[in-house]
């Protein structure tokens, strides 16, 4: 299956289990891999046979900057659901949501959750 990648999309959201996370907000980063057949797009040079990257970014932004949830797992799941709802050519996707500054002690670059979903 062919793939489209969008890496390190940056957003600011108000998600988390702790009141400070929901009050102050924090950065989130998203990597996305979308699987679909791109042969017809490549042969015809017509956008209708691919997925508009700008529309994908907007979809992800609406989820990450939208209604607050407790878990990064929920953000990943909601992102996949919205992508399948908005892009009928999409066959599968991998969504990785990074939380660079979670309120846990220690030294690390980020924590992240990655899911892979296939259209049912």
Compute φ and ψ for 77, nearest 5 degrees. -65, -45
User: Among the options 40, 67, 99, 109, which is catalytic?
Assistant: 99
- Respond yes or no: is residue 96 known to be catalytic: no
Using a CB cutoff of 8 Å and minimum separation of 24, what contacts does 73-79 make? 73/113, 73/115, 74/15, 75/13, 75/15, 75/28, 75/113, 76/113, 76/114, 76/115, 77/115, 77/117, 79/30, 79/32
Indicate which residues carry an active-site annotation: 99
């Amino acid at each position: 299956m062919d793939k489209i990648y969008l890496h390190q999309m940056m957003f600011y959201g108000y998600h988390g289990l702790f009141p400070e996370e929901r009050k102050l907000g924090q950065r989130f980063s998203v990597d996305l891999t979308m699987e679909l057949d791109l042969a017809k797009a490549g042969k015809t040079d017509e956008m209708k046979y691919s997925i508009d990257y700008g529309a994908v970014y907007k979809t992800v932004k609406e989820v990450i900057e939208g209604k607050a949830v407790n878990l990064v797992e929920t953000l990943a799941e909601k992102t996949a659901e919205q992508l399948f709802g908005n892009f009928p050519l999409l066959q599968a996707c991998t969504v990785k949501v990074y939380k660079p500054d979670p309120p846990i002690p220690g030294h690390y670059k980020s924590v992240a959750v990655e899911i892979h979903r296939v259209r049912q």
